[in-house]
Amino acid sequence: MNFQQLRYVRETVRQGLNLTEAAKKLHTSQPGVSKQIRELENELGVEIFVRHGKRIIALTEPGKAVVEVVEHLLQEAENLKQIGREFRDQAAGTLTIATTHTQARYSLPKVVSAFKRRYPKVHLTLKQGNPPQLAEMVVAGEADIAIATEALDQYPKLLALPGYQWQHCVVVPEEHPLLGEKRVTLEMLAQYPIVTYDPAFAGRSHIDEAFQAQGLAPDIVLSAVDSDVIKTYVELGHGIGIIAAVAFDEKRDRHLRAVAAGHLFGTMTTRVAVRRGAALRGFAYVFIELFSPQLTRKLIDTALAGKSEMYEL
C-alpha cells in the first residue's frame, strides 16, 4: 500500500468514477490508474469499486468505508507537510483564496494590500467562480479559503463561519423616477426591467423569494455574475439594477444613483469557509482575521475542533 494508490482512489471518486478524467488530473495513464487501484484492492482483500467490463460504475459497500479512510489519511499527510512548512518558514509559502467577483473586486482589495505588506514573501492567488465551485475547490484542496455569500454552509466537509453582513441596493440612471420615492416597494421595482445577479450569486435567491412572496413576477431582462456588468447595462438604459450595496461607489459610478433596498431583500451574510480537518498556515489565519476581525485564530480552531458548530454575527 502506498500514497500513490490512495491518491488514485480519491481522484477516481472525485472525477465521478471516470478513470480517464482521473488519469488526466493526475498526469498519468488510465491503465496505470486502473492497475494501481487493482493492486490496492488485492492487498486489502476487498473490491473498492463495482465494475461493468472495464468501466467503474459505483462504489462497493466496503469501498465507501475505504474512501472515507483514504480521505482522512491523505488529509493528515498534507497536514504533516503543512506543519513542516509552517515551522520551516512561517512568512513564506502560498495561499489560495476562492471567491466571487464581487468579493474580489469590492471586499478584498484592502485586505490583500494589508496582507501583502505583512507577508511579502507569500504568493497569493485569487480564484473566481460561482459559490458551489468555490466550495468544491476547498473540498478538493485546490484552495485554502473560500469567501462567498451563497452555498458554503451547505457543505458538511467545510467549516463556514460568518464574515460580514450586507444588504442590496437598487441602482438607476440619473433622474430616474424611483429617485423621487421616499421608500421604494417591490411593486414599484416590478414596473421596470431588472438587471441583477445570476441565480447562484450574491443573494439572488433572496431577491427571487421576496418577489414571489408578494405574488410578483419581475421582468429580469439580464442576469450576470459581475456587479460591474450589471451597472454597465443599467447605464446603457436596459433597466434598473439590483446589486450588493458594497458594489456601489459614488465616485466611480457617478452616472448612477443608489436607492436603499435592504428593507425589501433582507440582510445577507458573507461567509468564510475552510476544510474541516485541514491544517492552516499561520498566515491563513491572519488573512481571515484581516477580512473579518471577529474570526480570530482561537475562534477558528475551536470551531474546527468541533467544540462549537455555529457562530453568528
- Read off the C-alpha cell for 223: 442576469
Local confidence band at 313 (pLDDT 50, 70, 90 cut-offs) = low
Q: What's the pLDDT tens digit per position in 129-182?
A: 999 999 999 998 899 999 999 889 999 999 999 999 999 999 999 989 999 999
Q: What is the DSSP letter of 178?
A: G
> Is the whole-model pTM more than 0.75?
no
Cα dist from 48 to 24, 61, 66, 100, 145, whole Å: 21, 8, 7, 37, 31
Q: What share of the chain is helix, strand, coil (3-state, %, to 5)?
A: 45, 25, 30
Angle at 95 between CA 92 and CA 96, to 5 degrees: 160
Q: Which of 57-71, 113-127, 152-166 has the lowest mean pLDDT?
A: 57-71
Local confidence band at 19 (pLDDT 50, 70, 90 cut-offs) = confident
Local confidence band at 247 (pLDDT 50, 70, 90 cut-offs) = very high
pLDDT on residue 307:
56
Q: What's the pLDDT tens digit per position in 66-93?
A: 888 888 887 777 767 767 766 666 667 8
Nearest-angstrom CA–CA distance, 293 and 303:
16
Cell 431588472, located at residue? 194
Cell 456588468, located at residue? 229
pLDDT on residue 161:
96
- Amino acid (one-letter) located at 31: P
- What domains are defined for the chain? 3-85 (1.10.10.10), 89-162+271-304 (3.40.190.10), 165-268 (3.40.190.10)
- Output the average pLDDT for the chain: 90
What region does 81 belong to: left with phi over 0, alpha with psi -120 to 50, or beta? Answer: alpha
pLDDT on residue 96:
95
Contacts of range 30-33, beta carbons closer than 8 Å, 24 or more positions apart: 33/8
Half-sphere exposure of 84 (CA within 13 A, CB side): 6
pLDDT on residue 52:
85
For residue 123, is pLDDT > 80? yes
> Highest mean pLDDT range out of 31-35, 43-47, 206-210, 301-305?
206-210
- Read off the C-alpha cell for 173: 440612471
Local confidence band at 116 (pLDDT 50, 70, 90 cut-offs) = very high
311 against 192, higher pLDDT: 192
For residue 311, is pLDDT > 60? no
